[in-house]
Amino acid sequence: MTLFDLVIRSMRKNLKHYYLYFFALIFSVVLYFVFATLQYDSAVIEQASSSMKMDSAFKVAGILVLFIAGIFVIYANSIFLRRRSSEIGLYQLIGLTKGAVARLLFIENTLLGAGALVIGIGVGMLLSRVFLLILMKLVGFNDIVELSFSMGAVLQTALVFVVIIALTSIQMVFKVYRNTLLSLFNADKQGEQPKKPKSGLSAILALLGIGLIVFGYWLSAHMLNELLFFNMLGVLFSTILGTYLLFRVTISWVFYQVRKSKQGHLGLSNSLSLASLMHRLKGNANSLTIITVLSAMTLAMLAGSYSLYYSTEKETRYMIPFDFAFEEGVATSLSDNEISAVDFEVELEENGIDYTTGTIELLGVEGTHEKGIFPAIFDMREEIFNAYFVNAKQLQKAGLEVETPKDGSVIFHNASMMAMAKDIKIPFKMYITSGETESVFTAVKYGEGDVVNAVWGSQLVVSDADFEKYKRTMKPEKIVEMTPESIVRNVRVFNIADKDQLAIASTIRNSNQDTESSYGTDYYLTYVKSMQVNGLLIFIAGFLGLVFLISTGSILYFKQMTEAEQEKQSYTTLRQLGFTVKDIMRGIIRKQAFVFGLPLLIGLLHSVFAIKAASFLFMSDITVPASIAMGIYALIYLVFAFLTVGYYRKTVKAAL
């Protein structure tokens, strides 16, 4: 029998062991290939919308995918090798040299790798089409894109995986050469014995772990000041260290105390969960910490990018309340592609597009307001503030639904401060000093978004009477903080009646749909461009999230599979002692709830605080989209928990 025959025989015999590693390999190939294809094919997309730079985004994401996939394969290989330890030992025991065993494993690995590459690329070709369709849908591109077969992607994938196979082969050779026969035979029996924790130190460290996490959370809510960068580092450091201590010390300390309190009357469920977990906690602390921290990051990334995507329309509307706006008078000159407000109106008429229009006057004001109104980050506003007075009547006439404030009251609008809206104390007094005499207004409400397109600064909506009065008495020379030409502005705005005609109207205004100048004033154009950016972002985040989710889920699953096999004898004993499968499963489910549930729960909690801390980036409330993203993540993650429980059930059933 040649070595090759031996390889084939052992592979056929060991299918059960191989499928785990083989699956990991195929999975990684598929994902990498899909990404490589999209990267090579992004030219197709770029032709369609020249402003999008997808290539570089895909390149960066591709490296991340490669990184995750590489670690995943190497990890799966190490589990796979541990399961086969005694087989490797046996070959040596019956007289094969180390070199021969290493060669045997190398041939196996090459065969597996080649197989995975072929299957993976095949599956990847089918899937990349699906992913391309999803991407097109997300960025709002409706034409059908033909995905060509990309030789470049195949070669790149093949090259990358040859490297990964080489790495795993080295891993295998190390396993053969660096281990004694004895350690190979005992590899399956490894496991620590729970030690009594040093009571004083453990208790302190245990509490420190929780304390660090809580401190990190607290800091994340209070980091918006000059030291933002250091605060962010502090948050990361204290939550990650806290998480590690939690898994390494706190939990074993709590477990130890619980167990001690039972005084030996542990019961079946605890024997299968608590005791079994304590048995391996030291070894699991690192991987649980990594999984928790990475879960938290993935969750925050997913929730953040999904929130961006989800609220694109809303946020664009906040910044661009009117469909179109033209600055009249002094303002910026038109670019080549654009037409003026007058021409635009004519063209709208010609094309039979119904619209409302009006001119909004913006009057600069300067003044002060009550102290302590705004959150700390806006401290600088406490001295003197500038804003625009806007006439409610003009807004209503132009087609924007706003309420008319009473005389002497203003409704405060500022889209960029919306995240802090709930922290602003309403009502507050404003003292306008840029009129003939100082006048007092009361801000009665914080209004949603801006009321005029592309205005920097706050807008104060006032009644017609107040507006006209201020217009008559204002003294522009008293306003020192604004450039003279921006003190009085006239903005011509249009609202299209039928929103389905927005696209046509937008091309009328700007035939190329690409200039920078109408970006902030044309609602439709801005929306489409934001959708493309955010769509790409959620696609990449989602893809990476999926890669990561499946990798971590599988790693936990593989680990539990190994544990289930190591504990098989215990299940046999328990069944012989008269415990039913159901009794035993109750304890196992409890254990899985811990193994899968705790990283997920803590990861979720971390990400909730991360998202909260980042919520100032959003104008709208992101509770809904963030919850949806987290919910989907948790659901997919739990599938692995169910698979694991299923595997245990099979093992326990077969144990007697």
Residues that bind another protein (CB under 8 A): 191, 193-194, 263-268, 271, 275-276, 278-279, 569-570, 572-580, 583, 656
Nearer residue to another protein within complex by CB, 14 or 572: 572
Peptide bond into 427 cis (omega under 30): yes
Q: How far, in Å, CA of 190 to CA of 175, rounded?
A: 16
Dihedral Cα 43, 48, 51, 53, nearest 10 deg: -30
Nearer residue to another protein within complex by CB, 338 or 563: 563
Smallest distance, another protein to C-beta of residue 188, A: 12
Smallest distance, another protein to C-beta of residue 277, A: 9
Residues 6+ away with beta carbon under 8 Å from 195: none
**Token pair listed for 104:** 């045997």
Smallest distance, another protein to C-beta of residue 569, A: 7
The amino acid that residue 153 corresponds to is A
CA angle, 465 then 469 then 470, to 5°: 120
Residues 6+ away with beta carbon under 8 Å from 204: none
Count Cβ atoms within 10 A of the Cβ of residue 80 and give its class: 0-12 exposed, 13-18 middle, 19 or more buried. Answer: buried
3-state DSSP percent of the chain in helix, strand and coil, to 5:
70, 10, 20
Q: How far, in Å, CA of 245 to CA of 251, rounded?
A: 9
Smallest distance, another protein to C-beta of residue 580, A: 4
Nearer residue to another protein within complex by CB, 202 or 566: 566
Smallest distance, another protein to C-beta of residue 267, A: 4
Smallest distance, another protein to C-beta of residue 265, A: 5
What would you report as the CA-atom Rg of the chain, rounded to the nearest whole angstrom?
Answer: 32
Nearer residue to another protein within complex by CB, 337 or 572: 572
Nearer residue to another protein within complex by CB, 129 or 586: 586
Smallest distance, another protein to C-beta of residue 279, A: 4
* Residue among 415, 420, 637, 432 nearest 526 (CA): 415
Smallest distance, another protein to C-beta of residue 200, A: 20
Nearer residue to another protein within complex by CB, 15 or 577: 577
Nearer residue to another protein within complex by CB, 27 or 255: 255
* Residue among 630, 622, 620 nearest 301 (CA): 630
- At which residue do the structure tokens 């937008």 appear? 506
Nearer residue to another protein within complex by CB, 280 or 612: 280
Q: How far, in Å, CA of 402 to CA of 451, rounded?
A: 9
Nearer residue to another protein within complex by CB, 152 or 267: 267
Smallest distance, another protein to C-beta of residue 268, A: 5
The string of DSSP codes covering 103-154 is HHHHHHHHHHHHHHHHHHHHHHHHHHHHHHHHHHHHTT--S--PPPP-HHHH
Q: How far, in Å, CA of 31 to CA of 52, rounded?
A: 23
